[in-house]
Amino acid sequence: MNNKQFLPTRLSAKIAAALAVTALYPAISQAQTPTLSNPTVSAILDGYYQSENRVMAERAEGFGLGETELAFSASIDDMFYGKLTTVFESHDGESEVNVEEAFIQTMALPSGFTVRAGRFLSDIGYLNNQHLHTDAFTSRPSAYRAFLGGHYYDDGLRVSYTAPTDIYWTMGAEVFAGDSLRAADEHGEREFDTTGVYTAFTKFGGDIGTESSWQLGFSYLRNENGQLTPEEHEEEDHHEEEHAEDEHGHSHSASYTGKNTYVADFVYKWAPNGNYKYQHLTLSAEYFRVNDFMVSELHDEHEEEDHHDEEEHHDEGGKDYHQAWYVSGVYQFSPNWSAGLRYGELDSQLQHEEHFDSQELKETELSIAWHNSHFSTVRLEFSHQSNVGFENAEKDNVITLQYVMALGAHSAHQF
C-alpha cells in the first residue's frame, strides 16, 4: 500500500480539487454525516503563562487564556454547509467572547466553484485562514500582528474556483465590511465605506516525488478605509503609537493600515516515504508590503503646500510603505516531539507631527512542543525581540509556556 494516502497535507491533483470544494472539511461532502440535527461539536482549550509582554502580541504577561474555541458545524442539506465558531479570550483579568466564524458554504456548485457567505477567515496569505491553535508557535508573526490584527476575519462574501489542472490551482475573490482594518478615527468624524475591503488570491501546489509537496501563493488586499487623513495627524500619531505599544491584539484590529497590501507566500513539506504521522518537516515564508497609507490629494493650494512640506519630511524620516517578512522551519522528529525556529522583521512608519518615524522590529523564536496525541500539545517557547521605535518592549527575552487541547471531533488542518 502506498503510504502517501496517510499524508493528509499533501497536494496531489486528485485530492486538491476535493479539498477546495469542501474547503478542507472533507466530511461535509456527505449531507448525512453530520446533519443539522446532529452537528459536529468541538472545543479547543488554550492556556498559557508568559514572562513578559511582546510588541503587538496576542498574549500578555502572566497567566492568561488564549484563543479558546467552541465550534459547531454540520451539513445543512445537500446544497449547504454551515459553521459557527465562538472564541473566548482573557486580557488583564477581563474575559472576551467573540464570534470568529458564522458562515454558510455551497457544496454542489458545478465546475469547481464554491461560495461562502457570513463571517469567516480571509484566504489571503498562508496562515490567515488557519485557526491560531494550529500554529507551531505561540504568536503569529509580526506581519500578521501589525497588518491583520493577528488574523483577519470579517463579515463578507467569497467566491473561489479550483481549476481542473494537473497541479493544484485555486483562485478566489472576497469582499468584506473591513471594520477591523479601518484607519483610526478618534472623534468619529470620518465617513467610512460600509464595504471597505476587497481581496484576490491564487495558490498553486503539487508533489515532488512521494516525499515532498509545495505551495506558492499570491494575494492582494485593497482597503478603501485604510488611509490616514491630514486632519488626523496628531490624533493618528497618538492612537497608532498607543495601539502598537499597549494593546495585545484582543481587539483584532490592524495596528498599521494602507490602501494596498500585497502578500507572497511559499510552503514546502517533506515526510519520509510520504508518511506524515511519524516524522515531517515544514518550511514556510511570507512577505507583506503595505503602501498608500496616507491620503495624498488635498483640496486647495495651501493644503498642497503643507503636503509638499510633509513629503520632504517624509523622505527624510521614513518610507512611503510598511513591510514585513518571516521564514519558519518546524521539524517533527518523532510522533511526540517537534521543534520550530522562526525569524521575522517588521519595518513600519509611525506618524509623528508632520513627519514619519521609522520603526523596526526583529524577532527570533525557538519552540519545542510535546504532543501526547493529535489532540494535546504542550509548548515551551523562547523569543528574542529587538526593536527601534517601539517603547513598550523593556526586556528583549520572553518565555512562554502554552497548552492546546482539543475536545471532540476536529476537522483536518489545511496544507
Task: Quick: pLDDT tens for 58-107.
Answer: 888 899 998 899 999 999 999 999 999 999 987 666 778 899 999 999 99
d(C-alpha 183, C-alpha 189), whole Å:
12
Q: Which amino acid is at 299?
A: H
Contacts of 410-414 with C-beta under 8 Å, sequence gap 24+, read 410/42, 410/44, 410/375, 411/24, 411/25, 411/26, 411/27, 411/40, 411/42, 411/73, 412/8, 412/24, 412/25, 412/26, 413/8, 413/9, 413/24, 413/130, 413/134, 414/9, 414/19, 414/24, 414/129, 414/130
d(C-alpha 324, C-alpha 141), whole Å:
9
Task: Quick: pLDDT tens for 160-218.
Answer: 999 999 999 999 999 999 999 988 776 667 788 889 999 999 999 999 999 999 999 99
Instruction: Please tell me the predicted confidence (pLDDT) of residue 239.
Output: 44
- DSSP, res 209: T
Cβ(408)–Cβ(41) below 8 Å: yes
Instruction: Please tell me the predicted confidence (pLDDT) of residue 190.
Output: 76
Instruction: Please tell me the predicted confidence (pLDDT) of residue 319.
Output: 80
C-alpha cell at 33: 454525516
Q: Residue 303: helix, strand or coil by DSSP?
A: helix
Q: How many CA atoms lie within 13 A of 184 on its CB side?
A: 19
Q: Residue 307: helix, strand or coil by DSSP?
A: helix
- Fold that domain 3-11+103-369+381-395 belongs to in CATH: Porin (2.40.160)
Instruction: Please tell me the predicted confidence (pLDDT) of residue 293.
Output: 82
d(C-alpha 183, C-alpha 253), whole Å:
10
Closest-CA residue to 236 (of 361, 355, 150, 60): 355
Count helices and strands (H / E) in the chain: 4, 17
Cβ(167)–Cβ(145) below 8 Å: no
CB atoms inside a 10 Å sphere around CB 279: 16
Closest-CA residue to 359 (of 250, 260, 241, 242): 241
d(C-alpha 66, C-alpha 89), whole Å:
5
* Low-confidence residues in the chain, pLDDT < 70: 1-37, 91-93, 186-188, 230-251, 296-318, 352-354, 391-395, 411-412
Closest-CA residue to 3 (of 374, 333, 276): 276
Instruction: Please tell me the predicted confidence (pLDDT) of residue 403.
Output: 97
d(C-alpha 121, C-alpha 89), whole Å:
18
Q: Which residues lie below 8 Å from residue 42, measured CB to CB, with a gap of 6+?
A: 69, 70, 71, 73, 406, 407, 408, 409, 410, 411
Instruction: Please tell me the predicted confidence (pLDDT) of residue 376.
Output: 95
User: What percent of the chain is modeled with pLDDT above 70?
Assistant: 76
Taking CA atoms, 404 is separated from 154, 250, 357, in Å, by 25, 18, 39
Taking the domains of the chain in order of start, what are their residue ranges?
A: 3-11+103-369+381-395
Q: How many CA atoms lie within 13 A of 298 on its CB side?
A: 17
Burial call 355-394: b when 16+ CB within 10 Å, e when fewer: bbbebebbbebebebebeeeeebebebebebebebbeebe
